[in-house]
Structures are given as structure tokens and as C-alpha cells.
Structure 1
Amino acid sequence: MNVYMISLGCAKNQVDTEMILGACKNDITLVKSPEEANLILINTCAFIEPARKEAIDTILQMADYKENGAKLIALGCLPQRYKDEIAKLLPEVDRFVTIDEYKDIANIVSSVCNSSYKIRGEFSPLNRIYSTPSYMRYIKISEGCQNHCAFCAIPLIRGTLRSRTIESIVEEVKNEVAQGVYEINLISQDTTKYGYDLYDNKYMIVPLLKELVKIPGDFKIRLLYLYPDIVSDELIDFIKNNDKVMPYFDIPIQHSEDHILKKMVRRGNREYMLNLFNKIRKEIPSAIIRTTLIVGFPYEEESDIDNLIDFMNLVKFDRLGAFTFSLEEGTAATHYPNIIPEEVKQKRYERVMEAQANIALEKNKAMIGKVIEDAFIIGYDEESFMYVARSYAYAPDEVDGAIFVAAHYELELGQRVKVKIMDCDSYSLTGEQCE
């Protein structure tokens, strides 16, 4: 059976997609075009309104291929959150599959396809068809979230925190390293809270890392999605003293102003966060600090954006992504007054991103003339005729930018090279390969 798969949303969704395909891998062939497919699978995102719109638009586009006899299944966050409503809205879909049903995905696919194909497989992290390059993997260490931020629907969609055991994660990473994977990206909704539900209310990210760095092999670990107030001295010290853990701190703060953070039901405050980032810079001068912001939250004033930009200039984030506030059904923020008009939110967003572009350009200019020792090739840019690379300083997504490399000879995907930086813009570096 020919299967065409679309995965929308975050890296955590991408891992689910890989496990879905793994569970169905007997008797299926992945195809690159929906025209070739007997079955079209769409793993949806429903985090914010633009994501829901993208999911619905994608479903409607793919529904056109049913004229060729293809079956259409929509999975994931959209049906998990709106199953009854979405089934009425989109009758074109043959089956909606919630997250809770993933463990039975092989049987569901067989049923939708009228049992013509005997698909029987396990939905498991150890049974995936990978969509990432062979040199890197996402490893999901937990599901759900115990935080109840006023703006966020994730606990409503994904449920409360459910951590995997240390042993199961170690087994998965061992398998990946044995296959030659170099970059291991640990992901969850709140990576710092890993294990709290499973190990007697103890934060277990450092004990997990202690086991992972024992694995023999040439590989690096990156942590993504750290909550500010659980980034402990122990964690900073461990990263500082272990070469296998990249000094990359992805710490979404959402805002800098105390009264906004309180309304967001976020722990921590401006002073705490500033001290945290100063501590990281002091202990690990080579650290990369990335954050995420929400602008236009109820009660926010223009002066709060002024203060937020001041905070950005104090910390000088290496990487920063921002969103305008999206009102999500079922969250505490739906009860807040003072909803800010879209055009005002957009202007504030543009102010924040302009400020970050200036910070990023300043940081990138400081890299000119320096040599990056550990860049690895991730692709080739046909327009510039240059290779595209990343280092530990760049996470594998669109937020962080890339390094463009002029090479002396043909390079391979995943190959590691030294690069001397010659030029830059706000979000990328340009250099040449060093011998």
C-alpha cells in the first residue's frame, strides 16, 4: 500500500509521526506525492489558531485526491481537541484518530483500508520510520505537561506529565548512537520537569543525562524546552563539565514583566530570569541562550514592550522566536478582559523582532574572522552554490538560522568541517571550509 504522510506542527509531533509510520511499516511504501497514494495520513497541530487553519486547509487540499481512490486519515492534536466538531466540519475525512488511539493505529489503518492490508506493528519509540537526516534524531522523553499557563492549551490536548523511564530512553539513545547518529535532541513539553511524575516528585533530567553520557560513542546531546525556574545550578554545572552535552539553553520565558508573567500563570520573575541568564553566561561563556516570547497578551501596555526590549538588550539572547497572543478556548486567558487588537499585537511583534535582529547582527559580526570547529553539513543551497551547515549553536529548526559554507571539494550530508567565518547577516553566517 502506498502511503503519503504529512506532519504538521512541532518536533514532538514529528516523533509521533515517525512512530505512527513505524507501527504501520509492514506492507506500506512511503511515496513522495499524494497522487501515488492509496492512503493519505495527516498528523495535525491545534496549538494556536494559525496551526488549526493550516491543518484544516491541508485536509481540504488532500481530500481532492480521494477522487483517485485514496483513503484519508487525520490524526493528532486537532481530532484530540475537537473530535466531534471536526468530524461534522470535515466529512471528507475517512477517519479521525485521536492521540489516545495511537497505540491501536495499525488496526485502525487496516480497518480504514478495508482490511486489504494486514498491517500489524507496535507504536513505540523503538519502532520508527525516521524523517530526520541520519546524523540527528529527536528523542521524546515525556508526554503532556503539569504546568497550567493561562495561554496554553497543551495540557488540554496532551494531558498531564507522563515521563518515560530512564532505562527506555537510554536504550533508544544507545540504538541511535550505534547507527551512527551524532546529534541527539531531547524534547518534551517541559524537559526540566522530566521524571517528576515517575520518580517521587524529583526532577530527573540530570540523573538522565548522567546515564546518557555513559553511552560510548561520538555523539552530542541537546536539551530543548527548559522551564526557567527549574534550570538548576546542578544542571548548569553538569552541562559545563560534560562535553557530550551541548551548551545550548532553550529557555522560553514568554515575557519579562512581572505583572504579565503573573497573569500568564508563569513561575519566576524578571529579576530571577536575569540572574539565571547572567549565571549561565558566567559559568559557560560559550553557551547559546535561546528563548520564546508572547507579545500582545491581555493587560500588556506599550511600556511593557519597552521594558521587554530593554531586557532583551541586557540578556542579548543568541536566538529568539516570538508569537502574537492567540486566545485559546478552555484556557484561563479566555476570561481576561483587555484583549489587544490584532494590529497592535502585530506592531509590537515587529518591534520585538527588529530589536532581536539588531542583537543577532551584533553577535554575528563578532564571529567574523573566527573558526567554527564543529560545523556539520545539513544541505546544499542551489542559489548561492554553497553548503549549509549547523554547529552546536544552531538547533535543527527555522528559528536559529544556519552557516553557509564555501567548500574546496564535495562534502557529504552530516560531514563535520571547520569553517572560517567571513561574512554575516542577522540570522546566518557565511564562511569557507578550513583544512
Structure 2
Amino acid sequence: MKKVAFYTLGCKLNYSESSSIARMFEQKGHSRVEFNENPDIFIINTCSVTENADKKCRKIVREAQKINPDGYVAIIGCYAQLKPKEISEIPGVDAVLGAAEKFRLVELIDTFEKKPVGQPAQIIASHIDQAIEYHTSYSLNDRTRTFLKVQDGCDYPCAYCTIPLARGKSRSDTIENIVRAAYEIAARDVKEIVLTGVNIGDFGLQNGERKETFLDLIKALADVEGIVRFRISSIEPNLLTDEIITFVAQSKRFAPHFHIPLQSGSNKVLGLMKRRYKRELYTERVARIKTLMPDCCIGVDVIVGHPGETQELFEESYRFLNDLGISYMHVFTYSERENTTALEIRPIVPKSVRADRSKMLHILSEKKKRFFYEQQIGKTATVLFEDEVQEGQMLGFTENYIRVAVKYDPMLINETKEIRYDHLNGSGFMEVTELEEVLSTP
């Protein structure tokens, strides 16, 4: 039996899958350890959304070799599916497994013995069309919240994105299986479940046919006993229906928090990106949410520097975002990806200009976040505290995704507390009151 360590790059979906694969190793008698605890096996779960993610993979392989030069290194994830040969040539890598093979890692690799220097890494990666099975996944023991995968793959051919090439076609678990997994999670005393996937609004596709809907799913999950709240991760604006918004607004368990990718506030750029909506629909979605849930937190994904984004179109996008009633933004700087149609679009935005635009939107995001915090002053909320400590303080989130930091108290871990937002201090933190204690929130 061996010691196994995982390092996960990228999205919440990757974290849920790493955790599930780790449990497969534990079921075979292996023990999971931290990356720096001299493991026998290193599993690196990769992302390939940005160029930096590829570089990070190489860096983690080097670190693994420093920790244990004799350690077996296996690479899985999106980067492994897209560029298996490239990864196999990284010094120290012993095996590369594609999207259709990663959940069979324990059975496909017999001995996990380090390959002699100069011997090529083993590549076990099928064409992405072979990635048709669905594997239920959820994270455990990483934090108080659990990421539960409900959907995988994507049928949207966005111009800049390689995810369909890395994860395959859209496919889902059944509601019955997901509800069963939710009860398993509840039995571990987890209080919050975050629903995750590549395109979760497209939930319900099984063997290429739509059997169920995302609305059906959240209605079923709302009846799961033992879970205090559910949180919906990223959902496409064209799939975020009035019925879903209304249900969340009326639900006592689904958090008033949506993360809705926009990518650009310019209709022309949205067209170049091959997105399936125009900004007018996005405006309608935000307005509908705010009408039913005035304190709802709304996060936005935005890409800057996409080919064809002229200065005029960027400024149009900036003004649109500035006027929206949103709470924060995740800003991504466009990077060229092989086998994407964006490579054919002109003009190309210089990298220095992309960086400048990114800085502008990051500043705007901070302003939006501060304004959202200020709007909450005097209102009450519920904090779920996590087992995460920074500078002697433990962290937690309210239902509308305001992060709270309090003096460390082990009795608070995985507990919910009613608080009142009081005021922002000079550091931009929110002072809040919980019973007789004064807490602070970043």
C-alpha cells in the first residue's frame, strides 16, 4: 500500500473529481497524504483554461521531484486530454491519462513504480469522443463546503474555449443518484453543498437525450434533510430561467447567490465569441434577480482582450458592466488556445493592452464589491464558518456570499451564526455583530 498525494489546478469541478479519485485509492487500501509528506504517488489534476495553467502543471511536477525523486507522477485533467504527448515529455512524468481514463487510474496503473530515467511516460488517453460515461463526484474533507458535480462536458462551441475538446459532450447524472450523493454528504455533517459542472444549466442530458432538467434537480435537492444550504455555481444566462430564479427566491435552502458568465458587454464581441445570448438578455436576468432578491449576490465572468475587441468595444463593455447591478467579477485575460476558432479573428489585441484592460476591470470589480457590502449595512444574515484560518482568524460565508473573518474558535467550525452587518472599517472590512461579540469581515 502506498501514500498518495493530490494537487488540483483549476475549477471546483476538478476539486470534486480529485476528491472522488482519492477515495478510490483509499478504498484500495492506500493512504492519502499532503503533497509535502513524501508520498509514493503524486496525482496532478490539471486545467487548461489559460496558458498559465499549463505552466503551473510543469512547476508542480518539478516540485514533486524535489519532494520525492522516486515518487510516481501521474497527470490527469483537461491539459492531459488536450496535450498528452507534450506532458509525457516533461521530465519526471510517468503516466498521462485522458478524460475517459482518469476515473480508472487505480486499475489502469498496475504497480505505480517509478520509470527509469529516459523511459517515456505511459500515455493512456482516448479520443475525446470516448468520454461518454458519467462519474458522480464530490469533494470531502477539503473544507466545510462540498462541491457536488451534477454535470460534465459542454456542447457550446465558444470561439475561445477548449473545454468541449477536453471534457467531451454534455452529460449528466440522474437526479436519483445526485440526491443519494447529497444524503451521503449530509451524513458527514457537511452543511453546504455547491452544485458544480461545466455547464450545469444544461443538466438532464443522458445518452444524448434530455431526461430531466436543472429545475427538476434543485427542487429535489431542496428536500434533502441535513443540508443547511445549497449554492449554485456558474450558470449560463440563456439557461437561467425565470422558473429557476423564482424557485431560488422562494427557497429556504438555496442561497441567494448566482454566478453568471457574461464574457463581454458588447454584442459584437459576444457574436465573435459565439456566445448564445446578447447583453439585453443578461440585463433582464440581473433585473429579474434583483426584483425578487434585492440582496442577492451576483458574480460575473468577463474575458478581456478577445480577438476583435477594439478599444471602442472594450469601453462599451466597461460601461455596460459599470451600469449593471452586480456584486463582483472574475476577470480573465484572453490567451490563445490551439484548435479554437478565435485564432482566426482579427484584429489581435496586444498583450500589453489586454493587461491594461484587465487592471481596469479588476478595479471596477473591487468598487462593485464594496458597494454591495455597503448596501448590506444594518441587515442580518447567517454565517457558516469553515475550517480555514488566515492570520489567526477563521473564515465563513453568509448566504449572499459575504465573507466573514472572526477570532479562531474551534467551536464555531461548521456552525451557523446569525449576524448583523454594522459598518465598513478603514481597511474595507465589514464590522458585524453576532450576539454579544463584534466580528469583522473582509
TM-score, structure 1 as length reference: 0.88
State how far apart, in whole Å, the 2-side matches of 1:129 and 1:205 are. Answer: 21
**Is the CA contact 2:307–2:348 (under 8 Å) kept in the aligned structure 1?**
yes
CA separation of 1:76 and 1:165: change in aligned 2, threshold 3 A: same
State how far apart, in whole Å, the 2-side matches of 1:73 and 1:348 are. Answer: 37
Deviations 1:115-169 (A, max 9, x none): xxxxxxxx9537x772422x42111011100111101000010011011111111
* 1:112 corresponds to: 112
**Is the CA contact 2:160–2:342 (under 8 Å) kept in the aligned structure 1?**
yes
**Is the CA contact 1:7–1:17 (under 8 Å) kept in the aligned structure 2?**
yes
* 1:162 corresponds to: 171
Q: Report the Cα offset of residue 258 of structure 1.
A: 0.5
Q: Report the Cα offset of residue 380 of structure 1.
A: 5.9
SS in structure 1 at match of 2:420: strand
Q: Does residue 257 in structure 1 map to residue 266 in structure 2?
A: yes
Amino acid at match of 1:58: I
CA separation of 1:169 and 1:406: change in aligned 2, threshold 3 A: same
CA separation of 1:371 and 1:425: change in aligned 2, threshold 3 A: farther
RMSD of aligned Cα (Å): 2.4
* 1:398 corresponds to: none
Amino acid at match of 1:387: M
Q: Greater shift after overlay, 413-422 or 316-325? A: 413-422
Q: Report the Cα offset of residue 33 of structure 1.
A: 4.4
State how far apart, in whole Å, the 2-side matches of 1:283 and 1:45 are. Answer: 36
Q: Does residue 419 in structure 1 map to residue 430 in structure 2?
A: no
Deviations 1:220-259 (A, max 9, x none): 1111121111111111111122212112111111111100
CA separation of 1:351 and 1:191: change in aligned 2, threshold 3 A: same
Deviations 1:324-380 (A, max 9, x none): 1111101110111211111100111111111222222222223334332x1121246
State how far apart, in whole Å, the 1-side matches of 2:52 and 2:426 are. Answer: 28
State how far apart, in whole Å, the 2-side matches of 1:425 and 1:45 are. Answer: 37
State how far apart, in whole Å, the 2-side matches of 1:426 and 1:290 are. Answer: 22
**Is the CA contact 2:16–2:148 (under 8 Å) kept in the aligned structure 1?**
yes
* 1:93 corresponds to: 93
Q: Does residue 130 in structure 1 map to residue 140 in structure 2?
A: yes
CA separation of 1:382 and 1:219: change in aligned 2, threshold 3 A: closer
| Unmatched runs of 5 consecutive residues or more in structure 1 | 115-122, 395-400
State how far apart, in whole Å, the 2-side matches of 1:95 and 1:160 are. Answer: 25
* 1:275 corresponds to: 284
**Is the CA contact 2:16–2:139 (under 8 Å) kept in the aligned structure 1?**
no
CA separation of 1:196 and 1:104: change in aligned 2, threshold 3 A: closer
**Is the CA contact 1:388–1:404 (under 8 Å) kept in the aligned structure 2?**
yes
How is 1:7-406 mapped onto 2 (pairs within 5 angstroms)? 7-25=8-26, 26-34=28-36, 36-67=38-69, 69-87=70-88, 89-113=89-113, 125=136, 130-133=140-143, 135-197=144-206, 200-201=209-210, 204-372=213-381, 374-379=382-387, 381=389, 383=391, 385-394=392-401, 402-405=403-406
TM-score, structure 2 as length reference: 0.87
SS in structure 2 at match of 1:346: helix
Deviations 1:7-32 (A, max 9, x none): 11111111111121111112212222
State how far apart, in whole Å, the 2-side matches of 1:33 and 1:190 are. Answer: 30
Q: Which runs of 4+ in 1 moved over 4 A?
A: 197-200, 379-382, 424-428
CA separation of 1:380 and 1:99: change in aligned 2, threshold 3 A: closer
Q: Report the Cα offset of residue 382 of structure 1.
A: 5.3
State how far apart, in whole Å, the 2-side matches of 1:346 and 1:129 are. Answer: 34
SS in structure 1 at match of 2:295: coil
State how far apart, in whole Å, the 2-side matches of 1:218 and 1:203 are. Answer: 22
Q: How many residue pairs end up in the alignment?
A: 414
Q: Report the Cα offset of residue 218 of structure 1.
A: 4.3
Q: Report the Cα offset of residue 102 of structure 1.
A: 2.1
Amino acid at match of 2:105: I
SS in structure 2 at match of 1:414: coil
CA separation of 1:55 and 1:410: change in aligned 2, threshold 3 A: closer
**Is the CA contact 1:74–1:96 (under 8 Å) kept in the aligned structure 2?**
yes
**Is the CA contact 1:361–1:424 (under 8 Å) kept in the aligned structure 2?**
no
Q: Report the Cα offset of residue 2 of structure 1.
A: 1.6
**Is the CA contact 2:286–2:325 (under 8 Å) kept in the aligned structure 1?**
no
State how far apart, in whole Å, the 2-side matches of 1:344 and 1:228 are. Answer: 28
Amino acid at match of 1:375: V
Q: Report the Cα offset of residue 284 of structure 1.
A: 2.0
Q: Report the Cα offset of residue 404 of structure 1.
A: 2.2
SS in structure 1 at match of 2:44: strand
SS in structure 1 at match of 2:412: coil
State how far apart, in whole Å, the 2-side matches of 1:215 and 1:99 are. Answer: 31
CA separation of 1:177 and 1:335: change in aligned 2, threshold 3 A: same
SS in structure 1 at match of 2:238: helix
Deviations 1:16-56 (A, max 9, x none): 11121111112212222435212222111122101011111
SS in structure 2 at match of 1:36: coil
State how far apart, in whole Å, the 2-side matches of 1:10 and 1:95 are. Answer: 22
CA separation of 1:266 and 1:425: change in aligned 2, threshold 3 A: farther
